[in-house]
Structure 1
């Protein structure tokens, strides 16, 4: 029995049809019985094909003298797969024949030539793939797009850039929604779920006209397509082991970035940018670097915003604790000569029987005191918010200077490796590692300071002298850790 195998990836004018391949293969039959296996629409990059797999199964049970193909790449373009196939045939003493290349593995010369041809076929394929990849990265370095659909908030248009016509991103009406998403999430107490809820309530859909979910929101917030890329963005992605296509001075705080790179199918976009290529884009960013980095810090920490403060009888519900036993206070109703009043009662005393201190605090009195203290803090925040940007700018310049100095030291050490001997090479590598760790620590410290300063300066846009119940609840959640009530004493523990 002789097997004929034919494969065709797709129908093209210059592609040899399955039928033609079989006719060529039949010329090697010489009147013997044969069976045909054919895979149409399957690539030769591997052997995961139904007819091929069936043929290999049949080889185990049938008496086969040889396998004939039109050309050897019909089996596979992979050296490993092809070698496995040939080894299987050799174990069963089955010959392999290529009808057009006149290779017959029943002879030593045919077998040797077969391996040589498949090695060069694989080399050519890898060389072409490398050229395509290098050309792709070279285009991205010049600001070209990385392929695929436009990010949310942009359209792809063709325009001339530096004398070359290329595709670039152009803002569309959805870009205002992007600004709103960053604005909402950069509020310290806002979670992804809060942003999602806002978008659904305002009927703001994704590009595919679907509701937003946490994964889509996180992907948008992590995308450097929107950031005004300055030196802090350069340092951030450098610390994430991305390949930076541009020099630090090109990160001018105006243009955005494109980030391209291969990732596994089960890895979310932007979750790991190691060895991805970051390049300055041809479109302007819309989000300042501090806001962008704050959002990255928040996403990396992945904090769940606790929703413990659902009380309807007081905007301080969930915050008020007993200074004696530590249990929470709840709101209860009482009757006095002035009528019905609300008061805080210790759950450790009346519910858990764990507190021996009898104390009563009117809800209105505690709320009045805490609101007054909050407004005092608001004024302090306003003063800080005025001075903070300039202080932050000076601090950023200090960090950037230190990081740049470390980069110079690292580059000098790398240059000296060429003339290094064994002992000095070990020392240089150790020193490079130490400097790299020092640089990463500075970047992390800077990111943490940005986050802390933003939270310290943040104030929602409220009428602070006409606050609603929900406004007060939000401010308490933003600013207060807990309110401790002891006998005749109110202590506020601030965040």
Structure 2
């Protein structure tokens, strides 16, 4: 017997097949025909999920791969053997679920006693290596207090994060159990909001919507906390009143040609209550100082340009060639050109809502550059459109 490779499944890895990297790697090798037999210590080392095991068993049968447990007598060639295998897997899954329930109950009981149960290190606190309790890091605690004071002063998370960046302040830095140093990340709006909503800073522990007095010392006074929460809620309500529900046909399609990130539709109200809409680069909004050369684009200008380009798209020889290259249309180039011409003529009389619906069918991506845009057509969608236009393809 020749051993092809050892696959070591770490104890802390996920217990389901989709999350098990080593098992996924093994399946790739099985598909490549590199594996004839799999040797395991116990059947529950493979998976403890009955549904996952049934899927794996079907997968092994499909590629004619056998598996052997060196500590259990399993014969899948007989009905009795297959029954015993399913019984073993049922008990393995039962054991897994019992362990999960015990851990969940243990965490709930610990939080009710005010214990902070792990997670990423929190700015303002260190963990006592002996008692595992949170202890205040006075230097970081002053940064936390500064965040709350600054938000009450500016009323803006972006203004607070900009102030911290100018002061050279970063997020929590720590060393993992394996001795790997993790430097503090750059301060951003999301980090500020998480800090402003973190109940640990007022000495409380949250679990499933309930608050319990923590065993750690508070950093923020209750009065300051309450003022910040009122301001957060006020700002949120103010933003929501300025939003008008609107279906955006370009949602998820528009990307920045400079940063590569997605564009999002944003609105602002200026003098005389006039409302302006822009597509803004989401990657640029994460930075405290804007560096994107595109940054934002007026929504009306961009949408009109896209609508114009889509209309022209149906007349281009390139589009004709790409569709014919698919090879399964079942029509001649002349017939296709005639259908595309008809679609273009219909496009000219479509209302904006109909054009937007058409866009969702024929476009997969719009990339915005400083002086032009690129449109990636959805050839399968256009093929469907041709069928709806009355041409059998």
**TM-score of the aligned structures, taking structure 2 as reference length:** 0.49
- When Rg is computed on C-alpha atoms for both structures, the one with the higher figure is 1
